Chain A
Amino acid sequence: MNLLCNPVGAFLPPKQEAFEAQFRKELQSRHGVEFNRLYTITNMPISRYLEFLLESGNYEQYMERLANAFNPAAAAGVMCRYTISVSWDGALYDCDFNQMLDLPVDHGAPAHIRDFDPVQLNHRQITTRNHCYGCTAGSGSSCGGSVAS
């Protein structure tokens, strides 16, 4: 069993290793529950979470927090560097977030699965926007949890 943790609010997730150790201890002592890994994931400033940030007046502070926590080591491990996201109609995206935002791969690489070309895709320029700061803040974030220590 693996656990996933998203912060419930406008703040960054805890350090994955420390949080995993804390959860291991608490879940074992309180409920006798054991698990394999705990992954922490940063909330991306898009969709419903973006609405929450705007409505609660936290948007600017959260974006500043993400930008100030920019970590080059995390940027080196973001998932768009080694995965591709494919939508139901075969369109290619750098990641699921870009798919949600309707930002297809569009920097000189095929944008549809029928033209799949790993070499070109490996050398494409990734489409980035402000939400990418969510992947590069602190210990970084991907679907597999943090990417840097």
Chain B
Amino acid sequence: METYYHPHDLGKFAEMGKGNKDLWEKFMAYYSAVFAEGALTEREKALIALAVAHAVQCPYCIDAYTQASLEKGSNIEEMTEAVHVACAIRGGASLAHGVQMRNVADKLSM
């Protein structure tokens, strides 16, 4: 095996249903409902999914939601901004934990 990730494995996602059909169907029903047009448009949801895909660093999701975002009518500027939102939150989350570091350091220091 040259790499753990293969693009064609994305097409095998449904095989996860073989292990537990009931849970798979529940998940898929929930998944479809989440991405359906609601208070947010399908396009906005695809952009959120794209940002989250980068935050969780899932190459399958990045592939799928890059395509989905383009197909829902988003452009590369919007998609790039979505990735920056993920980046800012990830970076900000690290930095915000610096407060913990300062708290501990303050307590330990004379």
Q: List 8 A-B contacts (CB under 8 A).
A: A7-B70, A11-B70, A12-B71, A15-B72, A18-B41, A18-B43, A18-B72, A22-B73
Decide: B43 and A9 in contact? CB cutoff 8 A. no
Within 8 A of A (CB), among B26-68: 37, 41-43, 67
Which residue from chain B places its CB closest to the CB of A22 in the assembled complex? B73
Residue interface mask B3-43, A partner, CB < 8 A = 1: 00000000000000000000000000000000001000111
Tell me the minimal C-beta distance from B4 to chain A in angstroms: 21
Give complex CA distance A13, B73 in Å.
Answer: 7
Give complex CA distance A7, B68 in Å.
Answer: 12
The yes or no answer to A70 lying at the interface (CB within 8 A) is no
Contact residues in A for B72 (Cβ distance below 8 Å) = 14-15, 18
Contact residues in A for B67 (Cβ distance below 8 Å) = 11, 65
- Interface size bracket, A side: 10 to 19
Give complex CA distance A133, B49 in Å.
Answer: 28
The majority secondary structure among interface residues of chain B is helix
The yes or no answer to A19 lying at the interface (CB within 8 A) is yes
> 9 closest Cβ contacts across the A-B interface?
A14-B73, A11-B70, A19-B73, A12-B71, A11-B71, A14-B72, A11-B67, A22-B73, A14-B71
Which of B41, B43, B72, B73 has the most chain A CB atoms inside 10 A of its CB?
A: B73
Give complex CA distance A11, B67 in Å.
Answer: 7
Chain B residues at the A interface, C-beta cutoff of 8 Å? 37, 41-43, 67, 70-73
The one of B37, B41, B70, B73 that contacts A9, using a Cβ cutoff of 8 Å: B70
Give complex CA distance A22, B43 in Å.
Answer: 10
Which residue from chain A places its CB closest to the CB of B37 in the assembled complex? A18
Decide: A15 and B42 in contact? CB cutoff 8 A. yes
Contact residues in B for A11 (Cβ distance below 8 Å) = 67, 70-71
Give complex CA distance A9, B43 in Å.
Answer: 18
Give complex CA distance A90, B73 in Å.
Answer: 39
Which residue from chain B places its CB closest to the CB of A61 in the assembled complex? B7
Residue interface mask A12-38, B partner, CB < 8 A = 1: 111100110010000000000000000
Contact residues in A for B43 (Cβ distance below 8 Å) = 14, 18, 22
